[in-house]
Amino acid sequence: MEKYRLIKEIGDGTCGIVFKALNLQTNDVVAIKKMKRKYFFWEQCMNLREVKALRRLDHRNIVKLKEIVRENNELFIIFEYMECNLYEIMRERVATFSEDEIRSLMSQMLQGLSYMHKNGFFHRDLKPENLLVTNDIIKIADFGLVRETMSKPPYTDYVSTRWYRAPEVLLQSSSYTPAIDMWAVGAILAELFTLSPLFPGESETDQLHKICTVLGTPDCSIWPEGMNLLRANHFKFFQFPPANISHIIPNASSEAIDLILQLCSWDPLKRPTAEQSLQHPFFHIRSWIPYPLQDQYYPRISQPVSGASPKLELNLWDFGTESDDSFLGLTLAVKPSVSDLDSNNHVSGQSQEELLFCSGFQGQCAQSLFWPLVPSDHNVMNNAQVNPPISSPYLVNSQAIQPSMGVPESSGYSFPQLQPKIFEFGQFMNISSSPLQQRSFFD
């Protein structure tokens, strides 16, 4: 330990004391966990679940183990240093987190947790204090209560901090699963919205009371196994109807509320896994681009013909001026049905459909390829076509037409009302008479 100089104590837990320290050889700042008990053999150190787990887990959202040192029968575990934990951040916040911030933090935590579960471990003590943060990167830490998923019960019932303890653990189940981690994730997600714990019980009995006031009292149809645990412990649930979570967490979206309720299901079998949680709509809310999105070089169009439906088109351009250029530009545009191009380059104030072009590219396009977006059940490979290039000065004519390529079919979304028709520039714009002929869209 001579190569480390302790700077200050930053934490005191059940198993050890954590110090901020400096590696004198590399000048790296590290965190050193000094274990409180004595270790007389190296095998004892290597058999610690925390050590075994951290030696196997290597993920950007799990704190990194750097070194293990046993000196004078004392064990020191050296980790990468993180600036603070999530609890400290929440405690110092004046305003609540935005949903985008919460989404980022939760996504990272779930990615680390999914990796951990897939590699055979569950944490058993997830809470804001054990989630370390540096520069908006969050990492799961403190594996003192970690357990192998393949290990056989019985498990101890005194795991996790009470506020984040799953009901099956509170009822002293000895055969719980990694679903207890997912309960804690749900409680943490709710706390990020309100900056206060969702179930702040003062004892195990009060903890179950707090859960009932929020989720309502379960019965045999909601949690069959829980009724057996109640009878085994001679315990009777408090009778409460489920509360309106939207009133408890008013700043959360409906997607966030739904994910919290799924994660905090009474029945552990109904809780989504970490991997399934990452597929929840809460993490895939669409970003809307406000209208109008304008580019200084795109042509403006006249009013569309009444009753005509627009066509959505995906264009792939090769903007190379040399034969070895490989710069690609990608545009997504809506083709309104129009009678003609307004020669004055003016659009009516009521028009809500516009054609978008890329700008900011140097030179002209040597070749062009147009791909349509088609319904998911349409044979793209057999129907995609290639339009001839636009005449100069907008695009340089290409003698060799590129072979058509299909757009991969999307499993999640389809556009059943779109027509698989390529953008017809010749019908859409009168290139020869347009006043825009004297400049390129890609200047």
Stretch 10-25: mean pLDDT: 90
User: What pLDDT is stored for residue 270 in this prediction?
Assistant: 96
Comparing 71 with 380, which gets the higher pLDDT?
71
Report residue 161's pLDDT band, with 50, 70 and 90 as the boundaries.
confident
Read off the pTM: 0.65
Domains 4-80 and 85-283 share a fold: no
* Closest of 106, 112, 268, 107 to residue 175, by C-alpha: 268
Q: Does pLDDT of 305 surpass 90?
A: no
User: What pLDDT is stored for residue 17 in this prediction?
Assistant: 92
Instruction: Note whether 443 and 320 are within 8 A (CB).
Output: no
Cα-Cα-Cα-Cα dihedral sign, residues 228, 229, 232, 234: negative
Cα of 339 vs its chain's centroid, Å: 45
Instruction: State percent of the chain over pLDDT 70.
Output: 62
Report residue 236's pLDDT band, with 50, 70 and 90 as the boundaries.
confident
The CB density around residue 175, as the number of other CB atoms within 10 Å, is 10
What is d(CA 318, CA 325) in angstroms, rounded to the nearest whole number? 8
Instruction: State percent of the chain over pLDDT 90.
Output: 52
3-state class of 372 per DSSP? strand
C-alpha distances (whole Å) from 252 to each of 98, 191, 259, 441 are 9, 11, 11, 43
Stretch 333-340: mean pLDDT: 49
Which member of 12, 28, 58, 125 is catalytic?
A: 125
Residues 121-144 pLDDT 10s: 999 999 999 999 999 999 999 998
Q: What is the CATH number of domain 4-80?
A: 3.30.200.20
Comparing 54 with 414, which gets the higher pLDDT?
54
User: What pLDDT is stored for residue 312 in this prediction?
Assistant: 60
User: What pLDDT is stored for residue 20 in this prediction?
Assistant: 96
Report residue 159's pLDDT band, with 50, 70 and 90 as the boundaries.
low
Residues 351-381 pLDDT 10s: 444 444 443 444 444 444 444 444 444 444 4
Task: Characterize the bridge pairing of strands 65-71 and 328-335.
Answer: unpaired
Report residue 163's pLDDT band, with 50, 70 and 90 as the boundaries.
very high
User: What pLDDT is stored for residue 1 in this prediction?
Assistant: 85
Q: Does pLDDT of 384 surpass 80?
A: no
C-alpha distances (whole Å) from 322 to each of 209, 316, 326, 349, 359 are 72, 17, 9, 41, 19
SS (H, E, C) 248-311: HCCCCCHHHHHHHHHHCCCCHHHCCCHHHHHCCHHHCCCCCCCCCCCCCCCCCCCCECCCCCCE
User: What pLDDT is stored for residue 314 in this prediction?
Assistant: 57
- CA-atom Rg of the chain in angstroms: 30
Angle at 402 between CA 398 and CA 405, to 5 degrees: 150
Does domain 85-283 match CATH 1.20.140.70?
Answer: no
To the nearest 10 degrees (0 to 180), the angle between helices 254-263 and 179-194 is 150
> Of 268-272, 287-291, 311-315, 409-413, which one has max mean pLDDT?
268-272
Residue ranges covered by each domain of the chain = 4-80, 85-283, 288-443
Residue in the structure block whose two tokens are 């993920």: 59
Least confident of 4-18, 283-297, 421-435: 421-435
Q: Verify whether residue 318 is a known catalytic residue.
A: no
What is d(CA 441, CA 443) in angstroms, rounded to the nearest whole number? 6
Residues 83-96 pLDDT 10s: 999 999 999 999 99
H helices of 331-379, in order, are none
Report residue 151's pLDDT band, with 50, 70 and 90 as the boundaries.
confident
